[in-house]
């Protein structure tokens, strides 16, 4: 018997085929000749996973040996995207598997297409978490991601008569080959009940929590491979099931239906991802989800990951918990509870430890997106945690009063507990008080966070605040998404750039090289062909050929201003149909939208409907002659992004200044050679600084100008009245021209634009139109356009999530890569 170290299956075509057929025959229980595509996908995935598993075991072994300080990323969302290609890239098995499958008569592309992406996130924040775990593994950092294994991820979007209809995302239905469940490592989590004080054996007064129900968390491991470096980290997602003991107690009392209800209570917790991303409702189930996954994660780390004899007072030397927004902030009182109540540590010592173990990342500026939990709800669900929060707050306010003597208003403003409109816990304040560091996600955002959202805290603890500008993983968003560009880059500057993205700078001189420009244009053209084919096959959408591809993909939100894009399209359409412009003078453009609206967000859904109506009208008007076209493929997700972004010419990043914390799509577009039309917002500011003003189409009010206009009183109707093009566009929409004469269908949108316009669409309209004219001019000169596009690629290496991880390591975690 071979009892030595784990050996990976041989990295050969024969080795893979053997592994694949084994999985197919003995895993799926089917002969190759009778296997379905799904069988083939599951068996290929399992075969590839076995290569990763060998490396995972070795990574685990090394970690036990070195006991290196680890990062635990706590995130309610991970928007992973498909796993198959990423695993192939990481292991270097792409060609091997392609050949092996071909030898079995199977087309790897058919197998690829079978995978349903795990959509366990809403948008930017969830995708950022996925990029970060990729970078940590690729940089050989000891890290673990913790989150929730939602049974239903982000809903599948369909359109019925142009209106969004949500369908459940049944991503687990056909099997999930990438996860390994470990029911034997399950964790118990309590809910509800009461607290009591008692005197322990040493005569010390203590508190304990007696929950009235328990839920079991089962860990599901996902393997997070580094890029061809042999490391495989863990992403541990929790699913909730009923506990045996709890069921039995009720069963024995003879109340069968109550027992079934208890089971449902437990299993509901990890059932579904909340599809809201900016105006969250304070729902009890959401708080249950949050507590469930952080309690599981802390228990897992302390009891399973750390060695049994670990000296808990040394915890800060071994772990830093990074809080992805406020969603996991309940982890702070949970760690305090574990240290003080379960492990008998003195409060002050536990607090000193806790303050070193957490850091908090804020992802928003919108006041309505800041989480607050009514104390009544929190106290009912987590009575001990509420007591702990009160004590943290009491001690914190004592410190505030010392720092700002006599300033009672300060104490009230900074209190973790808000009194109005109802008594509630401000989660961002709790995170700021307890965290060793607080960071925003782009320079401008971090500045506004300090100055506008948490000014008193930044006055009290200036050194606590820092910035880490977001990044994206070049493995998925360049190498996998854009293989042609990747090959061109490697042919030009050699290998090694994919984990050292600043090396893209070496492309700069080639912006002046006509031959390179031509190759670059060929890549873009081929990517457009690939996109056309996908959209035709996926959605039956037929895009015109040879048009500028103008893309706006992101969650639907008023602050992101999809409506500004609609006004631009309508204005162009109006120029054509009213005869103000000759159709030959219009630059052929295809506008592509991708956007999901939160199911309860009325205005967002109205905007989706309007976009679909405008698309229908413009696309079917013979006067436009296909020179303007609008495509709105439903169900924009990571998989679609990977084909769409590499094909784009123009990237729309048009939020009102001061509202988009960072944006990350903006970075993906720039890295794939699209030019940005954008406001001075979020990371756009840094993109523009890096790529240069000449290679970025800036428009719109700056954040201080927004403030100024707000202060002096913004009247959108004044812009409507004084701008003819804007007036005509709005009037055309209001007339029902796009809704078959139905004016009521567009009433809410038009009314809001004219009389409210919270996000100043009308104020920025003229500037936007002028910027779009500059876009047309540049596009008319293919060499000038390519030059700018190449410089965007060459100068965007900063936006690698590897760089973001380096910043977190240096400024926040004090962790370094291994070796
Ligand atoms: C909270 C409580 C209850 C229900 C839902 C939520 C919730 C869920 C998701 C609140 C917010 C989110 C997601 C926020 C988000 O995606 N923010 C984006 O984060 C990106 C990564 O930092 C930034 O680039 C974007 O600018 C920011 O909008």
Q: Given 127, 528, 554, 596, which residue is catalytic?
A: 554
Closest atom of ligand 1 relative to the 441 alpha carbon: 22
Give the closest residue (by CA) to ligand 1 atom 9: 277
Find out whether 303 and 52 touch, Cβ atoms under 8 Å: no
- The pLDDT assigned to 394 comes to 98
Coil, helix or strand for 210? strand
CA distance 289 to 266: 10
H or E stretch including 381?
A: helix 375-381
Find out whether 231 and 55 touch, Cβ atoms under 8 Å: yes
668 is catalytic: yes
Give the closest residue (by CA) to ligand 1 atom 13: 277
Q: What spacing in Å lies between the alpha carbon of 364 and ligand 1's midpoint? A: 7
- The pLDDT assigned to 414 comes to 98
Find out whether 497 and 478 touch, Cβ atoms under 8 Å: no
The residues, any chain, with a CB within 8 Å of residue 761's CB and separated by 6 or more, are 561, 563, 564, 567, 716, 753
| Helix axis angle, 84-91 to 94-103, nearest 10° | 120
Q: What spacing in Å lies between the alpha carbon of 239 and ligand 1's midpoint? A: 22
363 is catalytic: yes
Q: Given 149, 517, 532, 668, which residue is catalytic?
A: 668
Phi, psi of 549 (to 5 degrees): -100, 115
490 is catalytic: no
CA distance 669 to 110: 27
Closest atom of ligand 1 relative to the 121 alpha carbon: 9
Which residue reads 């003003």 in tokens?
693
Local structure of residue 9 (DSSP, 8 states): P
Closest atom of ligand 1 relative to the 682 alpha carbon: 26
Closest atom of ligand 1 relative to the 276 alpha carbon: 5
Give the closest residue (by CA) to ligand 1 atom 3: 280
664 is catalytic: yes
Mutate to test the pocket of ligand 1, among 277, 448, 683, 804 (most ligand atoms within 8 A of CB): 277
Q: What spacing in Å lies between the alpha carbon of 771 and ligand 1's midpoint? A: 29
Which residue reads 């003078």 in tokens?
585
524 is catalytic: no
Q: For 756-810, where are the alpha helices, taking DSSP H only?
A: 761-779, 782-794, 801-808
H or E stretch including 576?
A: helix 562-577
Q: pTM for this one? A: 0.98
Closest atom of ligand 1 relative to the 369 alpha carbon: 10
Q: How many other β-carbons are positioned within 10 Å of the β-carbon of residue 579?
A: 9
CA distance 737 to 743: 8
Coil, helix or strand for 700? coil
What are the structure tokens assigned to 554, written together? 């992101």
* Ligand 1 site residues, Cβ closer than 6 angstroms: 122-125, 128, 274, 276-278, 280, 286, 327, 363-364, 369, 371, 441, 470, 660-664, 682
Find out whether 427 and 389 touch, Cβ atoms under 8 Å: no
Which among 323, 277, 272, 285 is positioned nearest to 129, based on CA atoms?
A: 323
Q: Which domains does the chain have, with CATH numbers?
A: 67-82+117-469+806-813 (3.40.50.2000), 474-799 (3.40.50.2000)
- The pLDDT assigned to 5 comes to 76
Weakly modelled stretches of the chain, pLDDT under 70: 1-3, 245-248
Closest atom of ligand 1 relative to the 281 alpha carbon: 3
Which residue reads 């998404």 in tokens?
481
Find out whether 417 and 424 touch, Cβ atoms under 8 Å: yes
CA distance 812 to 439: 9
Q: Given 243, 361, 664, 676, which residue is catalytic?
A: 664
**CA distances (Å), 320 to each of 144, 358, 491, in order?**
10, 6, 41
Coil, helix or strand for 143? strand
Find out whether 182 and 300 touch, Cβ atoms under 8 Å: no
Give the closest residue (by CA) to ligand 1 atom 19: 125
- The pLDDT assigned to 3 comes to 67
Coil, helix or strand for 637? coil
207 is catalytic: no
Give the closest residue (by CA) to ligand 1 atom 12: 277
Q: What spacing in Å lies between the alpha carbon of 121 and ligand 1's midpoint? A: 9
Coil, helix or strand for 204? coil
């Amino acid at each position: 018997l071979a009892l030595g170290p784990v050996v990976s299956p041989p990295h050969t075509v024969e080795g893979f085929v053997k592994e694949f057929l084994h999985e197919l025959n003995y895993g799926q229980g089917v002969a190759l000749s009778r296997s379905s595509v799904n069988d083939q996908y599951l068996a290929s995935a399992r075969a590839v996973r076995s290569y990763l598993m060998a490396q995972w075991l070795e990574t685990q072994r090394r970690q036990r040996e070195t006991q290196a300080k680890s990062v635990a990323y706590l995130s309610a969302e991970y928007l992973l995207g498909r796993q198959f290609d990423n695993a192939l890239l990481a292991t270097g098995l792409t060609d091997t598997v392609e050949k092996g499958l071909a030898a079995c008569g199977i087309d790897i592309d058919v197998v690829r297409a079978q995978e349903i992406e795990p959509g366990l996130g809403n948008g930017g924040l969830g995708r950022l978490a996925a990029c970060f775990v990729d970078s940590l593994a690729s940089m050989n950092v000891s890290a673990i991601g913790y989150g929730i294994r939602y049974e239903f991820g982000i809903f599948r979007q369909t359109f019925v008569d142009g209106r969004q209809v949500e369908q459940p995302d049944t991503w687990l239905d056909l099997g999930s080959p990438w996860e390994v469940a470990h029911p034997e490592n399950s964790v118990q989590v309590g809910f509800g009940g009461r607290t009591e004080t008692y005197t322990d054996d040493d005569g010390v007064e203590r508190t304990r929590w007696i929950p009235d129900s328990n839920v079991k968390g089962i860990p599901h491991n996902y393997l997070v491979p580094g890029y061809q470096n042999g490391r495989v980290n863990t992403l541990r997602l929790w699913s909730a099931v009923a506990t045996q003991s709890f069921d039995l107690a009720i069963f024995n009392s003879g109340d069968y239906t109550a027992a079934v209800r208890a089971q449902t209570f437990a299993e509901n917790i990890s059932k579904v991802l909340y599809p809201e991303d900016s105006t969250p409702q304070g729902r009890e189930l959401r708080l249950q989800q949050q507590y469930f996954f952080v309690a599981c994660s802390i228990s897992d780390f302390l009891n399973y990951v750390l060695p049994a004899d670990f000296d808990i007072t040394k915890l800060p030397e071994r772990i830093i918990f990074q809080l992805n927004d406020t969603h996991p902030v309940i982890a702070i009182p949970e760690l305090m509870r574990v240290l003080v109540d379960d492990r008998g540590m003195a409060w002050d010592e536990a607090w000193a430890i806790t303050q070193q173990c957490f850091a908090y990342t804020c992802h928003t500026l919108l006041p309505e997106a800041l989480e607050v939990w009514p104390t009544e709800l929190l106290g009912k669900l987590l009575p001990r945690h509420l007591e702990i929060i009160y004590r943290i707050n009491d001690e914190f306010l004592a410190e505030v009063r010392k720092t700002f003597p006599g300033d009672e208003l300060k104490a009230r403003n900074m209190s973790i507990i808000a009194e109005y409109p109802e008594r509630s816990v401000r989660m961002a304040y709790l995170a700021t008080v307890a965290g060793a560091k607080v960071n925003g996600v782009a320079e401008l955002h971090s500045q506004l966070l300090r100055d506008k959202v948490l000014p008193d805290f930044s006055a009290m603890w200036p050194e606590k605040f820092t910035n880490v500008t977001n990044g994206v993983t070049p493995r998925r968003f360049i190498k996998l998404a854009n293989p042609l560009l990747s090959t061109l880059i490697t042919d030009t500057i050699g290998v090694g750039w994919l984990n050292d993205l600043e090396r893209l700078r070496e492309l700069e001189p080639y912006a002046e090289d006509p031959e390179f420009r031509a190759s670059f244009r060929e890549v873009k053209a081929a990517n457009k062909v690939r996109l056309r084919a996908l959209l035709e096959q996926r959605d039956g959408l037929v895009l015109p050929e040879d048009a500028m591809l103008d893309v706006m993909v992101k969650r639907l939100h008023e602050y992101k201003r999809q409506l500004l894009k609609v006004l631009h399209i309508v204005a162009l359409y109006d120029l054509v149909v009213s005869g103000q412009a000759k159709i030959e003078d219009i630059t052929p453009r295809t506008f592509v939208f991708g956007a999901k609206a939160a199911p309860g967000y009325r205005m967002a859904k109205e905007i989706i409907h309007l976009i679909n109506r405008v698309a229908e009208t413009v696309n079917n008007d013979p006067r436009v002659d296909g020179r303007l076209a609008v495509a709105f493929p439903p169900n924009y997700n990571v998989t679609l992004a990977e084909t769409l972004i590499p094909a784009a010419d123009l990237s729309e990043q048009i939020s009102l200044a001061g509202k988009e914390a960072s944006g990350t799509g903006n970075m993906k577009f720039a890295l794939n050679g699209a030019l940005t039309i954008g406001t001075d917002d979020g990371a756009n500011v840094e993109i523009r600084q890096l790529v240069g003003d000449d290679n970025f189409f800036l428009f719109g009010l700056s954040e201080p100008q927004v403030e100024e206009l707000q202060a002096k009183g913004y009247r959108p109707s004044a812009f409507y009245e004084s701008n003819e093009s804007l007036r005509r566009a709005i009037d055309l929409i209001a007339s029902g021209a796009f809704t078959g004469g139905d004016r009521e269908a567009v009433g809410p949108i038009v009314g809001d634009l004219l009389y409210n316009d919270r996000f100043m669409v009308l104020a920025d309209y003229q500037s936007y139109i002028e910027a779009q004219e500059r876009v047309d001019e540049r596009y008319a000169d293919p060499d000038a356009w390519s030059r700018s596009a190449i410089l965007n690629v060459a100068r965007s290496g900063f936006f690698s999530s590897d760089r973001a991880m380096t910043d977190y390591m240096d400024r926040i975690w004090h962790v370094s890569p291994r070796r």
